[in-house]
Amino acid sequence: AQKVTQAQTEISVVEKEDVTLDCVYETRDTTYYLFWYKQPPSGELVFLIRRNSFDEQNEISGRYSWNFQKSTSSFNFTITASQVVDSAVYFCALNTGTASKLTFGTGTRLQVTL
């Protein structure tokens, strides 16, 4: 069975603060894929990143960065210098070779205020 836990239900920050969204996953598979998606207030689901289980290298894309640690089964997402446009629900998701499907976490709602 596979499971994704996003323990932070809601986070509020003031613009320009850094914020980290936590994601912990569970799987017995050795090959798996981790994802982050953003769902802004307009409702669409936007793909942000995909990592496979063999690549623990951290990734940076502009103000976004991701920290993948197999030792703690975590795939955390940091937004540096947050902006109001970052306000959204962020989902972490897991796909394994055997399950062949995306299992989503419950999402973290990020509210960035001025």
| Site for another protein, rule CB under 8 A | 33, 35, 37, 39, 43-47, 50, 52, 89, 91, 95, 97, 100-104, 106-107
The minimum distance between CB 38 and another protein, in angstroms, equals 11
User: Which amino acid is it at 113?
Assistant: T
- Closer of 57 and 114 to another protein (Cβ): 57
- The least CB distance from residue 32 to another protein, in Å, is 8
Instruction: Identify which of residues 43 and 62 has a Cβ nearer to another protein in the complex.
Output: 43
Q: Which amino acid is at 107?
A: G
Q: Summarize the chain as % helix, strand, coil (round to 5).
A: 5, 55, 40
**Would you say 33 and 95 are in contact if contact means Cβ atoms under 8 Å apart?**
yes
Q: How far is the CB of 92 from another protein (least distance, A)?
A: 11
Q: Which is nearer to another protein, 20 or 31 (CB)?
A: 31
CB of 72 to another protein, least distance (A): 23
Comparison of 14 and 97: residue with beta carbon closer to another protein: 97
Q: Which residues pair with 78 in a beta bridge?
A: 20, 65
What type of residue is 49?
I
- Other CB atoms within a 10 A radius of the CB of residue 49 amount to 16
Q: Among residues 15, 12, 10, which one has the least CA distance to residue 83?
A: 15
